[in-house]
Amino acid sequence: MRELALHILDIAENSTRAGARRIEMGMEEDREADLLTLEISDDGVGMDPETMSKALDPFYTTKKVRRVGLGLPMLAQAAERTGGRLTLVSEPGRGTQLKVSFGLTHLDRQPLGDLPGVIATLIAGNPDIAFTYRHRRGDRVFELKTEELKRELGDVPINHIEVLKYIRQSVKDGLHDIASEA
């Protein structure tokens, strides 16, 4: 995977397969510490200690379609190339929390990629899941919560094509707004 957005998509899809009903995704750009931190947490089935110990092994997967699980190992490697690291905490019945740090300005840090497209794709394919995306840059924050959108939409499905276009544009605009200098 060449973009962080695709890693987010992969991890969030893992969360949906684990039965998550809530998925929180957060990104923080800390210029002073030269860190980019990605956090994803879910309320899925979680992992026992044995499964957690295998989660970063590229030759282990719970998927039936392929025999390798490259998502987490590739993300860990991408973080390590920039001086960062990946930590994983999980407990059966309590969900999973992932935290990954990257050197923000490191030459080898992958670009963010199409975050608006990934978020819209996750919502389109999983309209019953409560997604939260929060992006912080310094003291500026952009946040999108599907539970709030659903309340505002009333009977209009959150995965209606026009709503998805709106979500994609809102994320794009929000990320642009927090990136702009005051």
Residues 115 and 8 sit within 8 Å (Cβ to Cβ): yes
**pLDDT for the residue numbered 50:** 87
- Average confidence (pLDDT) over 59-71: 55
**pLDDT for the residue numbered 71:** 83
In whole angstroms, how far apart are CA 39 and each of 102, 151, 170, 180? 12, 26, 21, 23
Q: Is the pLDDT of residue 107 over 70?
A: yes
Closest CA to 159 of 129, 115, 114: 129
Closest CA to 78 of 108, 54, 55, 99: 108
Summary mean pLDDT of the chain = 92
The pairing of strands 35-42 and 85-91 is unpaired
Q: Is the pLDDT of residue 67 over 50?
A: no
Dist. CA 11–CA 27, nearest whole Å: 14
Dist. CA 4–CA 172, nearest whole Å: 15
pLDDT per position as a tens digit, 139-156: 999 999 999 999 999 999
Domain that holds residue 26: 4-179
Q: Where would I find the H helices in the chain?
A: 4-17, 49-54, 71-81, 115-125, 146-153, 161-179
Q: Is the pLDDT of residue 158 over 90?
A: yes
pLDDT per position as a tens digit, 108-124: 999 999 999 999 999 99
- Read off the CATH number of the domain in which 29 is found: 3.30.565.10
**pLDDT for the residue numbered 60:** 58
**pLDDT for the residue numbered 68:** 41
Is the pTM higher than 0.85? yes
Percent of the chain predicted with pLDDT > 90: 83
Q: Is the pLDDT of residue 63 over 60?
A: no
Q: How many domains does the chain fold into?
A: 1
pLDDT per position as a tens digit, 9-30: 999 999 999 999 999 999 999 9
Residues 40 and 24 sit within 8 Å (Cβ to Cβ): yes
What is the rounded (10 degree) CA torsion for 101, 106, 109, 112?
80
